[in-house]
Amino acid sequence: MMNYNEYNNGSYSENNVFSADPCVKKPSKKRAAAKIAAGIMAMSMVSFGSVAIYRAAESNTHTTKIITEYVDRTSGVTADSMSLLGSKTENSTGTALSTEDIVDKVLPSVVGIKSEFTVTSQGYSGMFDFGMNSGRSSSRTATGTGTGVIISEEGYIVTNAHVIYDSEYNSGLSDKITVILSDDTEYDAEVIGYDTDFDLAVLKIKADGLTAAEFGDSDDLRLGESVVAIGNPLGFELKNSVTTGVVSGKDREVKISSQSMTLLQTDAAINAGNSGGPLINKYGQVIGINSSKMSSSYSGASIDNIGFAIPSNEAAKIVRDLIDCGHVTGKPQLGISCQDVDQQTAEMYRIPVGVYVTSVNENSAAEKAGLLSGDIIVEFGGKEVTTTAELISEKNQYSAGDTVEVKFSRSGETKTTELTLGEAE
């Protein structure tokens, strides 16, 4: 049996959530099937933040790839969920503020985030390197920067998961996280919870009397409405940079690496280091968490002023779960690590195109269904799957607790099993 290790960029693990103090597991909840629009934009997207690891790991700007599962957001969530953490959320009505007044109101709630990672380089003897590790490795410390938003006077802060968790170099969770307030005071930060599927994380610092941001209702936004972004582009040399623009689009289904997300689109400049910072409406309310932009390499065209933010109403429930449970509740999970078997690899090893299972988590849905390391999943729920992204997409059409038929290849023989999806913790 081949040892298809995780050197391939197609590798994927479901261990992409963190729980500092998990709550008691809740009963599995039925969710509406994920609605993945046929017209999902397969854009060349980059997420900016943590991964200004670029300073130590590479000589030029480094961008993060988030290769994780897409999870259908719970509908009907409002930013009121944030109100228990900080100032009471009001309706997005009233007198519009000037840009200067918006900045004066929100800037004390914006923080810089510095993350330190251990980056290990491993030598391999081939492109796919089926278990043929050369044994040469080296480690170094890399530092990344991003932005965050204070959501409570007691020190809770929301940011992007990719600011504190590295997927590009497989460094995982940051070794040390430092939060820098607007007055340049620095604090060590504790990770309360993060989820790379939603690209959100909650941190906590030991500080009182902080200025919590006010959150608005992202559903109230109108196309063309003015917005302001605040962040730390390209590191802290340009700390608290302010850019302005409008809401260019709502409910944009975009794909970042293999991760599909529903985001707000804006033409306000969002650059490396802005990740996790606020997108603010004309009333001085945070209505989005800045996450990514379209790269200039898309279709070979010159792309400017296309940035994206996670809507506040979508972020609210996620933040609540991360604080209460340390993880996002209600997510279906297989319990495997896997990677793609493309056509070239399939022909080389005389195996089917599909999703190669590199490992199976103990007591997981996959283990209970009889899946083993080395199996190649070729169908899920009656739908052919040829890549990890397709498997993720099909899996997320279901809810935790649903039973799905899985077809796979084992040692050249095609088998079928019934798998009951677990709930991710």
Q: Do 103 and 250 reside in the same domain of the chain?
A: yes
Task: Determine which of 38-52, 81-95, 326-340, 351-365 has the lowest per-residue pLDDT on average.
Answer: 38-52
| 275 has catalytic annotation | yes
The reply to whether 14 falls in a domain is: no
pLDDT tens sequence across 196-208: 888 999 999 999 9
Domain interval for residue 362: 332-423
Q: How far is CA 146 from CA 149, 277, 390, in A?
A: 11, 8, 31
The answer to whether 172 touches 306, Cβ cutoff 8 Å, is no
- Name the band, by pLDDT with cuts 50, 70 and 90, for residue 258: low
Residue 76: predicted pLDDT: 34
CATH code, domain with 358: 2.30.42.10
The one catalytic residue in 152, 162, 171, 321 is 162
Q: In sequence order, what are the residues at sequence separation of 6 or more whose Cβ sits closer than 8 angstroms to the Cβ of residue 98? A: none
The one catalytic residue in 152, 241, 275, 337 is 275
Q: Which two tokens stand for residue 25?
A: 């597991």
CATH code, domain with 140: 2.40.10.120
CA distance 118 to 136: 16
pLDDT tens sequence across 277-307: 999 999 999 999 999 766 544 445 556 789 9
Phi/psi of residue 393, each to 5°? -60, -45
**The one-letter amino acid at 250:** K
- The β-bridge partners of 229 are 243, 279
The one catalytic residue in 129, 166, 199, 340 is 199
CA distance 391 to 385: 6
pLDDT tens sequence across 361-413: 999 999 999 999 999 999 999 999 999 988 988 898 888 899 999 999 999 99
| 162 has catalytic annotation | yes
Q: Do 282 and 362 reside in the same domain of the chain?
A: no
How many structural domains compose the chain?
2
Q: Of 261, 294, 326, which residue is a domain's last?
A: 326
User: Could you tell me which of 222, 223, 164, 220 has the C-alpha nearest to residue 194?
Assistant: 164
Q: Of 311, 326, 341, which residue is a domain's last?
A: 326
CA distance 110 to 240: 8
- The β-bridge partners of 166 are 172
CA distance 160 to 291: 7
